[in-house]
Amino acid sequence: METPKNLNRLKAVLADAGQTNKWLAEQLDKDPVTVSKWCTNTTQPDLQTLARISELLKVNIRELLVNKNF
């Protein structure tokens, strides 16, 4: 089975919240390059980090994930 390319909606949720990759990187104490890779779905944040992002952006963690029907 092929792995879906886009697993998260982080870029869209950040835009909806009026926040930037740089802001998120600062909040999480992460390298901005790492956050950029998450936003382009090059790599994925772990579940603990996703939970923290959902708290920072005040959204349900499910809003950060792409809904795929497998």
The pLDDT > 90 percentage for the chain reads: 84
Give the CA angle between residues 23, 26, 29 to the nearest 5°: 150
Closest CA to 10 of 19, 2, 1: 19
- Which sequence spans correspond to the domains of the chain? 10-61
Based on its alpha-carbon atoms, the radius of gyration of the chain, rounded to whole angstroms, reads: 12
Indicate the pLDDT class of residue 69, thresholds 50, 70 and 90. low
pTM, two decimals, is 0.87
pLDDT at 70: 47
Locus of tokens 């809904």? 67
pLDDT digits (tens, 9 = 90+) for 1-25: 455 678 999 999 999 999 999 999 9
Q: Which fold has domain 10-61?
A: 434 Repressor (Amino-terminal Domain) (1.10.260)
pLDDT above 50: residue 35? yes
Write the DSSP string, 48-61: HHHHHHHHHHTS-G
